[in-house]
Amino acid sequence: MTFRRSLLAAAVAVVALSASITASAQNMVLKSSDTHPAGYPTVVAVENMGKRLDAATSGRLKIQMFPGAVLGEEKAVVEQVQIGAIQMARISLGVIGPIVPEVDVFNMPFVFRDIPHMRAVIDGAIGQELLDKVTNSTGRMVGLAWMDGGARSLYTKKKVQTPADLKGLKVRMMGNPLFVDTMNAMGGNGISMGYGEVFSALQTGVIDGAENNPPSLFTSNHYTAGTKFYAQTNHLIIPEILVMSKVTWDKLSDADKAAVKKAAREAQLDQRVLWDKSVADYSAKLKAAGIEFVPVDQKLFFDATAPVRAKYGAKFADLMKRIGDVK
C-alpha cells in the first residue's frame, strides 16, 4: 500500500511539473532587436505591439525592446534569432536575401512607383506571399509584418537634377553590388561604404554625397557635413521586415500565435502613421537648416536604371510584373 501511495504521489508530482513547464512556456518575455534608435518609428511600433500583445494574452506574452543595435548588428541578430536567443527583430532585407532570395525583388530600383504603391503591395497578396516564403524557408524565422523604410533620395554637395549632373560625383551606397550598380547607372560613381564612415567621408571629401530618407539624413547629422541639396529621386523604396524566431514560435499555442499575428499586422499599419509624421517633421527641420529639396524628373532616373533591373531582376520577372500590376 505504501508503495502504491508513493507511486501515486510521484505520478501527481510529474503531472504538476509538466503543467508548470507548460504554463511557464506560455509566459514569455520576447526580446526584440532593432538597429534604429529609441523613438524611431519601427521601435515605437514594436513597443506598441508589445502593449497590445500583453493585453490580448492577459500578460502571458510581453515584448522587451532593445533599440540602437545594443544586441548587435543585423547579421549577428539574425543568427541569434535563428537559434532562439533573440525572439524578434526588425531587420533590413539585405540580410534576409541570402536566405529567401525572392525578397530581393524589393531592392530593385524603381520597382515601386511611389510610397502608396509599395504599401499596396506589402499590404496585399504579394506581401503575405513573401512573408510566407520567409516562414516556410530553412531560415528558422517567421515573417510577421512589413515596416516602412521610406524612399531613398540623393543628398549631395552639388545640386543634382538630372543623371548628367551626377557625372564625376562619388556617392556612398549600401554595400550591395545591386545598389552600387544603381548609382553607376544613374550617372554617379557608386562607393560601397559602412554607414558609420559616411560623416567623416563627407567632411574630408572622400565622397560627394550619399542617399537615404529625410529622418536618417537628419538624425545622422550628415546634413551638417556639407551636403546642401536633397534631390528627390526616390530611386529605392525598400520595406523592412519584422521576424520572430521559429524556435519561439513553435512554443506558442495556436491562440497566442493568432494574437501575435494580429498584433504584428496592427504594428505594420501603426508604424507607417509614425513614419509619415517622422518624414514630415524631419523634412521641415532639414529645410529650416538650409537644405534645399530639389524636385527631379524621376523618369530620367527610371530610364537610366533599366539595365540594372534587367540584370538583377531577370529571375524575378513574373513577380515584378505582378508588383507593377498592383494599383
In the prediction, which pLDDT does 94 show?
83
Contact 46, 90 (CB under 8 A): yes
In the prediction, which pLDDT does 172 show?
96
The Cα–Cα gap between 101 and 322 comes to 17
Residue with cell 506581401: 127
Per residue in 131-172, pLDDT tens?
Answer: 999 999 999 999 999 999 999 999 999 999 999 999 999 999
In the prediction, which pLDDT does 95 show?
87
Q: Is the pTM for the entire model greater than 0.85?
A: yes
Contacts of 103 (CB under 8 A, 6+ apart): 93, 96, 97, 130, 133, 134, 241
The Cα–Cα gap between 217 and 282 comes to 9
pLDDT by 10-residue block (mean), the chain, 327 residues: 45 38 64 93 97 96 95 93 98 89 94 96 97 96 96 97 97 91 97 91 97 93 96 97 98 96 97 97 98 97 97 94 96
The Cα–Cα gap between 171 and 190 comes to 5
In the prediction, which pLDDT does 62 show?
97
Candidates 297, 31, 305; CA nearest to 186 is 305
In the prediction, which pLDDT does 194 show?
85
